[in-house]
Amino acid sequence: MLKLKEGFVLRQVARETVVIPSGNEINLNMMITLNETGEFLWDYLTRGTDAEELVAALLGEYDVDETTARSSVDAFVAKLNEYGFLQE
């Protein structure tokens, strides 16, 4: 199960969607910018999901093939893990 940790919020800044840490210990090094696809996947992760559901969601929303969708999901999840945004 993939789910985001508590303490991160999405904000629109200069027409871009950014993830900003919130709470007592704000580390701005953990701030990232999301593209449209990242924002779409982020929404699913706030509710908890798995990689297969994310791939299916991309296939249903965007005109991409399964290989591209899976590659995008894998890269996005890897980046979120790198930044420590996902629960273990």
pTM greater than the 0.85 cutoff: yes
Pairwise CA distance, residues 63 & 83, whole Å: 28
Q: What pLDDT, on the 0 to 100 scale, is given for residue 31?
A: 81
Q: What confidence score (pLDDT) does residue 77 get?
A: 97
Q: Give the per-residue pLDDT at 24.
A: 61
3-class secondary-structure state, position 15? coil
- Beta strands 8-13 and 16-21 are antiparallel
Amino acid at 18: V
Mean pLDDT by 10-residue block, N- to C-terminus, for the chain (88 residues)? 90 90 66 93 95 98 98 96 87
